[in-house]
Amino acid sequence: MKFFVDTAEIDEIAELNDLGMVDGVTTNPSLIMKSGRDILEVTKEIAAMVSGPVSAEVVALDADTMIAEGRKLAAIADNIAVKVPLTWAGLKACNTLTNEGHMVNVTLCFSANQALLAAKAGATFISPFIGRLDDINLDGIELIEDIRTVYDNYGYETQILAASIRTVNHVLDCARIGADVMTAPPKVIKAMANHVLTDNGLAAFMSDWEKTGQKIL
Ligand code: G3P
């Protein structure tokens, strides 16, 4: 499973990148706002730091302007994936930008039918939002399962990029189903290493080791 980091905070990306945990990065207008950075500048910095895809989102609502924005974002670096919303304008922009050879991430997906349209439009990635479905008492994980089934039925190569991941359980559920990629905030990725038995076991080993009086170095 590929791990993308869902943030525009350079330091947090760098920290996880140094741990070998970053296969790509996703950003959106809200994350750019939170970072307080200029979208073109911060996207360039991120794309230079990581070798995998870096999603940068268009903000226009009509296809022609989305395409123009997408071309500008894609020109930042070879590893930019242009992120477009799952609207007919976004699907048109996806089709055009894909035909031009750009990676496209279709975002704000909340149904398997939407995901089917994105695959037909040639999307590199489809981003179903798990947490936001859970927020309204719908089943985000079931959506990932449905999209996996639909894509596998027809051999679509669009990668399922599970997004709006809020918990470590979301990550595991997506991995069980076979989502190609998950994107999560740094704090969720970091929390995956936590286990109380690891902490307790390490404390016991350290305590016993101290009693031996030995040193390795
Ligand atoms: O990148 C989009 C997505 O991951 C947003 O997550 O938590 O704002 O629903 P969230």
Q: What is the mean pLDDT of residues 51-77?
A: 98
Q: List, for residues 158-194, the tens digit of each pLDDT value.
A: 999 999 999 999 999 999 999 999 999 999 999 999 9
Find the angle CA(37)-CA(38)-CA(42) to the nearest 5 degrees. Answer: 75
Q: List, for residues 99-148, the tens digit of each pLDDT value.
A: 999 999 999 999 999 999 999 999 999 999 999 999 999 999 999 999 99
Going by C-alpha positions, the residue among 66, 6, 54, 11 that lies closest to residue 31 is 6
Distance 161 CA to ligand 1 centre (A): 12
83 is catalytic: yes
Cα–Cα distance measured from residue 179 to residue 175, given in angstroms and rounded to the nearest whole number? 6
Q: Which atom of ligand 1 is nearest to the CA of 31?
A: 1
182: tokens are: 């998950």
> Cα-Cα-Cα-Cα dihedral of 56, 61, 67, 71, to 10°?
-30
- Which member of 72, 83, 92, 211 is catalytic? 83
Ligand 1 pocket member 114 (CB < 6 A): no
Ligand 1 pocket member 26 (CB < 6 A): yes
Q: Which atom of ligand 1 is nearest to the CA of 163?
A: 4
Distance 41 CA to ligand 1 centre (A): 22
Distance 63 CA to ligand 1 centre (A): 23
Going by C-alpha positions, the residue among 142, 152, 99, 143 that lies closest to residue 121 is 99
pLDDT of residue 103: 98
pLDDT of residue 46: 98
Q: List, for residues 11-30, the tens digit of each pLDDT value.
A: 999 999 999 999 999 999 99
Answer yes or no: are the C-beta atoms of 124 and 91 closer than 8 Å.
no
Cα–Cα distance measured from residue 144 to residue 37, given in angstroms and rounded to the nearest whole number? 32
User: Residue 172: which residues within 8 A CB-CB, separation 6 or more?
Assistant: none
Atom 7 of ligand 1, nearest CA residue: 164
Going by C-alpha positions, the residue among 129, 137, 113 that lies closest to residue 170 is 129
Ligand 1 pocket member 28 (CB < 6 A): yes
Distance 82 CA to ligand 1 centre (A): 16
pLDDT of residue 120: 98
Prediction pTM value: 0.96
